[in-house]
Amino acid sequence: MKIQNIHKLNFIVTTFVVTMFFSCKDNFKEVQQIGVLQNAPVGVAENINLKYTDSGKVKANLLSPKMKDYSNREFAFQEFPDGIKLLLFDKGQKSTILSDYAISYDQNDLIDLQRNVIIVTQQNDSIFANQLYYDQKNEQIFTNEAFRMVSPTKIITGNGFNSDKDFKHFEALEVTGIIYLDE
């Protein structure tokens, strides 16, 4: 009787162990990727100098001390935590955009420029804002936030504007003040 109970116990333990062994799956790689996929960038680069060319001509040049690549996300982006300098070229003319922080989104070709954004146009006008967007595909610069535009003849303050990258077609959404400067 004792032998029969020992066989039953061995059979139950063996069945349990075999069931546990075959029910487990190897998900070690998935466990390793949890922290990486959710929080960390895929890569970090320093001293970035990216050039965008079209038909052999440089159209834009992006410079930054640091870039974090989050292309592993569903909505991929690159973060520039130490700011950027973006140079836009057109027919030998250059506009410069500076910001303390920026994010570039891959899927919609949009660059979100934040904190101390300064634009120096081809006409030597300067635009100051806290946040601007640059639409790379349509070559448009816009914001819905407050801005200040300083030119040799006037200072314009307002809320929101749209412009082409050359600032030849600048449209303020709301002008809150204009100061004309003496020449």
Dump pLDDT digits (tens) for 60-89: 888 999 999 998 888 889 999 999 998 888
Q: In the block, which residue shows the tokens 């949009």?
A: 110
pLDDT at residue 71 in the model: 87
Contact 67, 80 (CB under 8 A): yes
Q: How many CA atoms lie less than 13 Å away from 26 in the CB half-sphere?
A: 1
The pTM assigned to this predicted structure is 0.72
Q: Which residues contact 108 (CB under 8 A, 6 or more apart)?
A: 137
pLDDT at residue 133 in the model: 94
pLDDT tens digits for 117-128?
999 988 888 999
pLDDT at residue 77 in the model: 92
A 10 A CB-CB count for 161 gives 23
Residues of the chain with pLDDT under 70: 1-11, 13-39, 183
Residue 31, φ and ψ in degrees, nearest 5 = -65, -40
- For 41-180, CATH gives 2.60.450.10
Antiparallel, parallel or unpaired: β 84-90 and 101-105: unpaired
